[in-house]
Chains A and B, each alone.
Chain A
Amino acid sequence: MLPELGNFALILAMIIALAQGIVPMIGAARGIPSWMAFARSAAWAQLSLLVFSFGILTYAFVTHDFSVAYVANHSNSALPLSYRISAVWGGHEGSLLLWVMLMSAWSTAVALFSKRLPLEMVARVLAVMGLIAAGFTSFVVFTSNPFDRYFPAPLDGRDLNPMLQDFGLIVHPPMLYMGYVGFSVAFAFAIAALLGGRLDAAWARWSRPWTIIAWVFLTLGIALGSWWAYYELGWGGWWFWDPVENASFLPWLVGTALMHSLAVSEKRSTFKSWTVLLAIFAFSLCLLGTFLVRSGVLTSVHAFASDPTRGVYILMLLGVVVGVSLVIYAWRAPQVKSAGNFALLSRETFLLGNNVLLVVATATILMGTLYPLILDALNLGKISVGPPYFNAVFVPLMIPLIVVLGIGPLSRWKQDDFGRLAKILRYALVVSLVLGVLWPWMLFGKLDLMVVVGATISIWLVACILLDLFYRIRHKSSFWKGLTSQPLSFYGMSLAHLGVAITVVGITFTSYYSLEKDLRMAPGDQLELGGYLFQFDGIRDAHGPNYTSTKGIISVTRDGKPVGTMYTEKRNYTVQQMPMTEAGIDPGLFRDLYVAMGEPLGDGGWAMRIYYKPFVRWIWLGSLFMAFGGILAASDRRYRLMARRKAGLDIDAKLATQES
């Protein structure tokens, strides 16, 4: 009975989403306040129904209701409680239910935090989000219903895919989806502004915090996915340029461009048409990502579902969203006047550089990702594009981006002076060139051109951030007063940029200085790697709730002193008869030790991977800095001032003086 209630709530949510998409839109066009006000109540109703529906599916998992087909396919009576809950989004149907629930959570958040926005704007924004929600909820209802039943109910479930039975996979999809659907807010604001003819600085200021928060979630989602792949897939890779990874990375790149372009639109009232276009692209790429992952067109670790009708449905949704929004853009954008004027050497130009580089990077990755799919769809042969392509195109674009990233915040809006910039930057240049060579050489005792480049641009970036801080506070009466008088958004930006430097250092050092050894080891065998001595002590049998396992024990010493004992496992999940390797990792800020068992080779010998990975944690540490910087920037008081807006124009004037 309960699953039917859940299904009913889902269908009701779909109808309400449709109403949320139509009624306020007409209300905004005709100027009927009560129709416009309906948007907020609709958002709340939709969220309540979807939470109810999601709760019922979760309850079915918790209580082992195997008469529900989705539960029977993704759970088992031996599955621990935490994984039974995360299994709700461990498969196609449930993860889409999560998708639409989060989508409506964003709608409700907009309804809640937009009290001071003009009602017409709120109505349009929520209407656009309602239409998107209606499209995806209907997709769930008609093609991917998680409440379908099995008759008769099976005695036990087929278990959750062992790869997904892991902490990383409990948190990775919700984070990523929060980011994906979060960009629908920026998209809805852009479309609403186009429709209402209100493409002004106020629009940019409203969109900014929403865009930043969506970007924060996407950043964390991607970092979690990378971290999960590193420890769970058992061979120590942290990025594979897998199409599904690219699917999340593409909206991130365009979203990053959008954040920066919004800054120009807000502060200088220029780049506006371009910003709108970026908002459309960012959300379209989120939908493309959903299509790639959920349609089953890809061969990848993620593509568990493959049903052609589903792919066609999402492709149609994607086509409608992109098509309609581009038509609205073509119709309305020519009326947008860009007010600002800027010189060749100005912060606008540097931000333009940021945008061009990020968009070109997106285009090249998109090409490598889609090219094999298009050839396959046209029956022109089956090909794959390997990581060397992506590295070859992506890295050369990121180097100038980071150089520009250092200069941008130090430069002035509208017009800057070359002599002034050169005078400030020469110290950063000298320090980064010297340390860029010395630092890696002192750490590792050997150099590679790309290592010097990576270290130099990272130090350059850090030096520029410090210079920026220095120039901002040197005229203040005291150091402390200077620090506290800076707005939160400045600290947010600096932290996020620092995060980029940290990630670049991590990627560079891990890529060039990792030591990796695959070998046969029998109990008692030793291996020296990166100054550590690894000794294979033997194996031990173990078992978990739904698997049996063989544990390999490796003791590690350095200069005769014990570092620790590492355990790696070969698990066999009993229901699906699927083997899984669990890597043993000894984490550290400056190096990870990584061991993973391969297969038994006879005579007590095992195939063994032993890796020494310097600075690998910095990759994810940098992402945390970026995300935290984003949170700081989004909580800057000027957005809240804007929201309160008690003194109207007075505040705008005050802000203008503060920022200059």
Chain B
Amino acid sequence: MNRRNDYIPIQIITPSKKIKINLKELWSYRELLIFFSWRDIKVKYKDTTMGVLWVVLQPLALTALFTMIFSNKLQTYAGKLPYPVFVLSGLILWQFVSGSLTVAANSMELNAKIIKKIYFPRLIIPLSALLNSAFDLLFGLLLLLVTCLFWEVRIEWANILLALPISVFLLSVACLGLACLLSMLNVIFKDFKYIIPFFLQVLFFTSPVFYDANSFGDGWWAEFFSWNPFSAAIQVFRRGISTAELTWNVVVKPLVSATLIFVGGLIVFRKTEKNIADLI
């Protein structure tokens, strides 16, 4: 086997206390990340019709529900967008958040057997949870496109192609941080999993999924929404659809908070990761 003669990898095992992430190593495990995500997607969509249907049906049903309840009361705040489009755009992003966090939170326990027997950078696990939700997001976006066409919303591609990446990036950074944090808290505290649904619910209602953050005026809430990365991501995305102008000051504050969440989550993750095989 000549393929490995080029270099001899040297590993040194010590009781290290460093929190630094070995990006090079993570990169060398990129195939495993793909395999992990591929496996979970495969299992989820095994009976394909139901899998896809589920991802599409859920936001659709919720959109119908919210439209029935709130469209009269909240239409004025939805700006230029028809309320169903407005809600759906928020819901598909929210699905990304709740999907990735729910999966990630339980991921260590689900993969405990592998974790106990094989070494790989554990970061792959929350990352693959994120990738899986991203896959669902694609279906969501398709659904949104159809809805936009149905309600005859004029689509400015240039605007959306700027807003969507920014929005998804914000979500991903914040979600990865939270995913890291939640997954490890779940490992440390066995009863933490009961808190997660509640936590997600709070996050849902404090993010402008079915209402417009601008309707709260300029007070304390406005400040909160401008710092909340989930709220910001949804707003940026909606601006993209409704061809409203995108300004940098909308992006900077949530980027700071998302980064803080990311770093915090990562520190907890790295600290717990080393002992994880002894903990689960």
Q: Do A and B bind each other?
A: no
Residues of A within 8 A of B (CB): none
